[in-house]
A = this chain, B = another copy of it.
Amino acid sequence: MTSVNGLEDNFLRGIDFFSGLPEEDLRVFVRASHIRHYRKNEHIYHQGDESDRFFAVMGGWIKLYRETVDGEEAVPALLTTGDISGESAILYGNKTCVFSAQAVEKTCILEIRKSVLEERANANPDILRRIIISVSKKMDRLQTENEHMFHMNTAQRVACLLLRLSAHMVGNGGTFTLPYDKSIAAAQLGMKRETFSRALMRLRPMGVHVNGSEVTINNFGSLSEYCCLHCSLSAGDCTGSRCSTCTSQGCGTQLLSSRL
């Protein structure tokens, strides 16, 4: 591999969707890659645009959103480094984007034309399997979001988000920076700005302290107990859960036995 495309090559190999593909496929994808930069608030595409490419996020945050006729906005997903989007629409009938995609901060993506993915999928059906896995994971995530709207109050949903955003942190507690505006976090969770702000206040007794975009969680475990008990995911299926009384095994079996 020439150094010209070294960046693309390294990046793609690090993403689940591409990792482990045959060298031939990787070479084609790397050669078809276009790296694009977007400023804050810039749009990557608009709802209704032709869906002729898919992309992977190399850095920054992207908001996918959809608008209703009366101007309300829904945010089905926020994408960041390593996430991919558009992989299913590629082979699926719909030729137009069902969402808009907007950079919520300085963002860099790697994009590949639809036709390249199609051609490679024809040559190597394993790519189709990877698409199924990717879409299924997104579906599970969406399903969980749905349940949260139904069973959890705003404070619990905010707690859940904070735990997922701090999933990489080690230790019992700590401080981290919100990676995007609170308004966007609120929209992602299906609530208003004001409600999000008040929900953060309500988490203070649970050991959550907020100063601007700096969030301190005293104890991940106890915050998990506050919200994860109302979620049907077993701890092993959730990146955010640190629930000690609700381990992967514990949750599952508890659920099974309580069902009857």
Contact = CB atoms under 8 A, between A and B. Distances in A.
9 contacts: A47-B259, A48-B252, A69-B232, A69-B251, A70-B229, A92-B132, A98-B140, A145-B146, A149-B150
Given A69-B258, A190-B150, A246-B69, A74 B232 contact: yes
Contact of A68 (B48, B128, B151): B151
A170 interface: no
A133 B254 CA distance: 35
By CB atoms of chain B within 10 A, which of A66, A69, A133, A259 has the most?
A69
Copies in the complex: 2
A72 B230 contact: yes
Contact of A255 (B47, B93, B132, B142): B47
A206 interface: no
B256 A46 contact: yes
A71 interface: yes
Given A136-B92, A259-B46, A147 B68 contact: yes
A121 B67 CA distance: 37
Interface of A: 46-48, 66-72, 74, 76, 88-89, 91-93, 98, 100, 121-122, 125, 128-129, 131-133, 135-136, 138-140, 142-143, 145-147, 149-151, 190, 229-232, 246, 251-252, 254-256, 258-259
Contacts of A129: 91, 128
Nearest to A187: B150
B230 A68 contact: yes
A48 B246 CA distance: 16
Given A229-B69, A246-B69, A256 B47 contact: yes
Nearest to A142: B142
A244 to B, nearest CB: 14
Contacts of A151: 68, 72, 74
A147 B140 CA distance: 16
Given A76-B146, A128-B128, A255 B69 contact: yes
Contacts of A91: 129, 132-133
